[in-house]
């Protein structure tokens, strides 16, 4: 990503790292059910400018927060600054990457880094994953790690799971690391196989931030994971070969759904049918069928609202408004739900009018303001020389 304002963040920086956020186009809540997901990296990024240090100190300048923190690379398990204070939450992500790298025996050196982001925090676009992947790519470049981008994503996930303490799947870090310009990424969360699928020509991604920060997330997310696990345990009595809901066909589920408690059946039905929708999307994207793909997006939103019950009125309003607009192929909530954003697939030549109408009608309907972003599917993390 060319930028004429080199060293705007940190004087005498020698490396610049660009790590994108991500949006999930289809396949919501199936990553922890071993299913296929379809995220895309987007051209909203975390930007790091860095220079190596000769000592074991990491100096972080979080420009958006106007905060600076220093910590030692030795003793990271204490989660403390070099002055003995607890690390602020935002600093746990880069510290976690350094910790995970050292757990794997990878060399990590002292650095000074200034960074900024235009990925909205808490909106479901994976700002934290972009930070992790950005720092992992930075230390990989400095340390000569023999890791490909999938391995880099796994290291970043380890940092979030085991150091930050968030039990996320791999999708967010995967998409930030492996994005392909103009493409979604079909990612098999069981085998870790992936391939890019072209997004329909003449379309853009529009992301609408409801302004409602996710109110989940812990207990409701855990309840839904538990329901999926309960469904597998009960369905195994009739389908002994299954390991996850990914292994249950729609026909088998329809035949056996009455064996499940009502809430468990609703949660599991979303997963089984959502995995089917991702399968259907493969052919549609391969053929450039924007209308067909858009219908899948709308069906996913209905399922997330009615079966998985992770939507909120503000997200429903954004989808309903979007679906009425000329040039909108599809819309749905994206991310875990309970707040955050919707994602819309829109004809490029109608995008500006769509964005204006979406913002105006959302305010009329809800009294709230939505931030609306025009995005393209972008390349994954990359390192550039500064200067």
Instruction: Give the alpha-carbon dihedral of 87, 93, 99, 105, to 10 degrees.
Output: -160
Distances (CA, A) of 256 to 30, 252, 253, 270, 354: 20, 6, 5, 15, 43
Q: For tokens 């609306």, name the residue.
A: 372
Spot the catalytic one: 31, 34, 172, 361: 172
Within 13 A of 218's CA, how many CA atoms are on the CB side?
2
Pinpoint the alpha helices (H) of the chain. Answer: 89-103, 127-143, 149-158, 171-178, 217-235, 250-256, 262-286, 290-306, 313-324, 351-366
Q: Which residues, 6+ apart, have CB-to-CB distance to 351 below 8 Å?
A: 204, 206, 327, 374
Question: Cα 32 from chain centroid?
Answer: 14
Q: For tokens 């052919």, name the residue.
A: 283
The conformational region for residue 325 under phi > 0 = left, psi -120 to 50 = alpha, else beta, is beta
Distances (CA, A) of 288 to 184, 277, 285: 12, 16, 5
Phi, psi of 18 (to 5 degrees): -115, 120
Active site includes 172?
A: yes
Question: Which residues are identified as catalytic?
Answer: 172
């Amino acid at each position: 990503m060319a930028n004429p304002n080199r060293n705007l963040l940190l004087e005498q920086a020698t490396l610049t790292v660009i790590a994108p956020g991500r949006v999930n186009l289809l396949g919501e809540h199936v990553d922890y059910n071993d299913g296929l997901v379809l995220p895309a990296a987007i051209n909203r990024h975390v930007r790091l400018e860095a220079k190596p240090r000769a000592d074991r100190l990491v100096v972080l300048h979080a420009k958006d927060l106007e905060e600076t923190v220093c910590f030692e690379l030795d003793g990271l398990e204490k989660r403390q600054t070099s002055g003995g204070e607890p690390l602020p939450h935002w600093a746990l992500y880069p510290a976690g990457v350094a910790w995970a790298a050292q757990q794997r025996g990878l060399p990590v050196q002292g650095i000074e880094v200034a960074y900024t982001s235009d990925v909205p925090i808490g909106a479901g676009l994976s700002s934290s994953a972009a930070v992790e992947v950005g720092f992992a790519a930075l230390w990989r470049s400095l340390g000569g790690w023999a890791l490909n981008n999938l391995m880099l994503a796994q290291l970043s996930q380890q940092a979030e799971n085991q150091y930050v303490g968030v039990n996320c799947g791999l999708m967010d870090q995967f998409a930030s690391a492996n994005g392909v310009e103009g493409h979604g990424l079909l990612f098999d969360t069981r085998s870790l196989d992936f391939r890019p699928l072209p997004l329909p020509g003449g379309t853009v991604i529009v992301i609408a931030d409801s302004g409602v920060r996710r109110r989940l997330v812990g207990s409701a997310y855990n309840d839904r994971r538990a329901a999926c696990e309960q469904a597998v345990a009960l369905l195994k009595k009739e389908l002994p070969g299954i390991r996850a809901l990914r292994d249950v066909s729609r026909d088998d589920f329809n035949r056996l759904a009455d064996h499940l408690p009502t809430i468990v059946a609703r949660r599991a039905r979303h997963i089984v049918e959502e995995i089917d929708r991702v399968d259907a999307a493969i052919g549609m994207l391969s053929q450039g069928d924007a209308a067909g793909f858009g219908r899948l997006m709308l069906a996913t939103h209905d399922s997330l609202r009615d079966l998985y019950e992770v939507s909120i009125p503000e997200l429903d309003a954004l989808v309903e408004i979007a679906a009425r607009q000329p040039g909108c192929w599809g819309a749905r909530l994206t991310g875990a739900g309970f707040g955050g954003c919707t994602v819309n697939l829109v004809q490029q030549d109608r995008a500006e009018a769509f964005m204006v109408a979406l913002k105006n009608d959302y305010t009329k309907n809800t009294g709230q303001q939505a931030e609306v972003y025009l995005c393209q599917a972008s390349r994954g993390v990359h390192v550039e020389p500064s200067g």
